[in-house]
Structure 1
Amino acid sequence: IAMVGKYMDLTEAYKSLSESLIHAGIHTRTKVKVHYVDSDIIEKGLAILEKVKKEYGVPVLTDVHEYSPLAEVASVVDILQTPAFLCRQTSFILDVCSQGLPVNIKKGQFLAPWDMKHVAEKAKSTGNNQIMLCDRGTSFGYNTLISDMRGLPIMRAMDCPVVFDATHSVQQPGGMGGSSGGQREFVPVLARAAVSVGVAGVFMETHPDPEQALSDGANSWPLDKMEALLETLLAIDTTVKKHDFIEDSLIG
């Protein structure tokens, strides 16, 4: 879910899904054009997230950025998430990880998976042992991302839970000229592949009508198809995790 304005319409649908997690971009600075969606009204955004959290009893995750009031946001949400483009900003990573909450750190599209070791070490230097590493695709030429599944066990060897972002991984950065495009039809393909590798979690953005979404619509997965996808992923996850990952002894 990309923007806070969607939440009150979606929460009832999510209540039927076990261990739901609502994601809210209340302070996004990744828009391509200045006149596109801005959500800098922090107090209003936090109020909506807090209402959703209390009324529906679900944990809440949100992106934070360099100028986000971290302490204020951390007092409301359950998980903080850092944008891929900021993964090498040392002071920012340290500040976010010092808030005492679990942090999902997205790997930059420009970064090799083994280089996330340095990011993880910085994050853990704050004393925070609730650090997750998230893969959201790797740049492959212009307007194109690819997902190299080998990177998932490589990051898993860093003693951090690994999350796969199945919706941003199908994004086509700048692919629509003034905004990013996407190939949402491949969301389930990549999600199934990542779960079969053995990840700790899957991050996905969804919307009742992706074509009308204010942000990331081209790569958002339709809400009415989400439950079926989650059921498939759960079945794969259960099967894969019945045994140890034999490759772990060879990766390090």
Structure 2
Amino acid sequence: MINQLANVLPHFRHTNSGQFFLMAGPCVIEGEDMALRIAEQVRTITDRLQIPYIFKGSYRKANRSRLDSYTGIGDEKALRILQKVSREIGVPTVTDIHESEEAAMAAEYVDVLQIPAFLCRQTDLLIAAAKTGKVVNVKKGQFLSGESMQFAVDKVRQSGNPHVILTDRGNSFGYSDLVVDYRNLPIMRGFDVPVVMDVTHSLQQPNQSSGVTGGKPQLIETIAKAAIAVGADGLFIETHPTPATAKSDGANMLALDGLEALLRKLTRVRAAIQEGGAAGIAPMPA
């Protein structure tokens, strides 16, 4: 299914490598130098491992726990940085939008428009994103089943845009935790769309008493390995040179210097799964 994206994403390389693709970058654009540094380092790694790569960065954070939480450096400034990343590093880019009127604006700068999980049922937002003609990545709501995401896919396709990705980021578990139901990945893949596992956000611990979201980054490898094992087409991983100083979501990020080792392990998992399929080993029953 990765080839569904190859024809519409500029600079989307290595699509014939048989690897999963990667969406990775900081939670929010903090500045030009850092964005270019992260993108260049990740591209070097993904080129070495022949993993197709999309740079991720939010131009603005709208879903914050507290009024004083960091939201960004300014919309146009951040979007221009995303555009510069694409042009100078040679990778496609993805950013999230929050309201219908943002779709056309963001589409001028990036290749993929992302619909946040809490907004995945917002019909006007999905239609606006679809009408830009960009690839639309819809994150599954923490409150929804994989089956229910068929309707989000239908909204985009029936608006004239066949380029849809679905991303799982876990389901709410009580008030302050998330759990990943891996059944959702093959279920959503059954809608004939590429399916991504948002590894780092699925390890968040939201709604903490401090108003700052917590996380369990020590389980990043576990979540990622399991996602590849059940057939995820792509992975979404937020990464930062120093997560402890990140302006947003640092508690569940992967340190940038740990990315290559993780990806090497995941490519071996992917190869083992593919070899098993080629040998005619039947998958486990659903």
TM-score class normalised by the smaller sequence: over 0.9
1:98 matched to which residue of 2? 131
User: Contact (CA 8 Å) 2:170, 2:179: kept in 1 or not?
Assistant: yes
1:59 matched to which residue of 2? 92
Q: How do 1:18-97 and structure 2 match up within 5 A?
A: 18=46, 19-39=52-72, 41-66=74-99, 69-97=102-130
User: Contact (CA 8 Å) 2:36, 2:89: kept in 1 or not?
Assistant: no
Does 150-159 or 232-241 show the bigger shift? 232-241
The one-character-per-residue Cα deviations of 1:211-252 (angstroms, maximum 9, x if unpaired) are 11100100001100001111111221233234289669x87x
Aligned counterparts of 1:31 and 1:140: Cα–Cα separation in 2: 19
The structure, 1 or 2, with the larger RCO (C-alpha pairs under 8 Å, 6+ apart) is: 2
> Residue type of the partner of 1:12?
E
1:21 Cα deviation after fit: 2.0
Q: Which runs of 5+ in 1 are unaligned?
A: none
User: Contact (CA 8 Å) 2:101, 2:128: kept in 1 or not?
Assistant: no
> Residue type of the partner of 1:8?
L
Q: What is the TM-score of this pair, normalised by structure 1?
A: 0.93
1:10 matched to which residue of 2? 38
User: Contact (CA 8 Å) 1:61, 1:78: kept in 2 or not?
Assistant: yes
Aligned counterparts of 2:177 and 2:101: Cα–Cα separation in 1: 29
1:121 matched to which residue of 2? 154
2:143 matched to which residue of 1? 110
> Residue type of the partner of 2:166?
L
> Residue type of the partner of 1:4?
I
The one-character-per-residue Cα deviations of 1:15-62 (angstroms, maximum 9, x if unpaired) are 312233211110220111111112272210111111111111111111
The one-character-per-residue Cα deviations of 1:162-220 (angstroms, maximum 9, x if unpaired) are 10000000000123521110000001100000000001100000011111110010000
User: Contact (CA 8 Å) 1:27, 1:65: kept in 2 or not?
Assistant: no
Aligned counterparts of 2:77 and 2:137: Cα–Cα separation in 1: 23
Aligned counterparts of 1:32 and 1:140: Cα–Cα separation in 2: 18
Aligned counterparts of 1:35 and 1:197: Cα–Cα separation in 2: 40
Task: Give the secondary-structure state (helix, strand or coil) at the position aligned to 1:112.
Answer: coil
**Count of residues in correspondence between the two structures:** 250
2:173 matched to which residue of 1? 140
Aligned counterparts of 1:83 and 1:10: Cα–Cα separation in 2: 22
Change (3 A) 1:179 1:95: same
The ranges of structure 1 where at least 4 consecutive aligned residues each deviate by more than 6 angstroms after the TM superposition are none
The one-character-per-residue Cα deviations of 1:126-178 (angstroms, maximum 9, x if unpaired) are 12111011100001111010001111111111111110000000000123521
Q: What is the TM-score of this pair, normalised by structure 2?
A: 0.82
Task: Give the secondary-structure state (helix, strand or coil) at the position aligned to 1:214.
Answer: coil
Q: Which runs of 5+ in 2 are unaligned?
A: 1-25, 47-51
Aligned counterparts of 1:68 and 1:17: Cα–Cα separation in 2: 36
> Residue type of the partner of 1:118?
F
> Residue type of the partner of 1:115?
S
Q: What is the percentage of aligned positions where both structures have the same residue?
A: 39
Q: Quick check: 1:228 aligned with 2:261?
A: yes
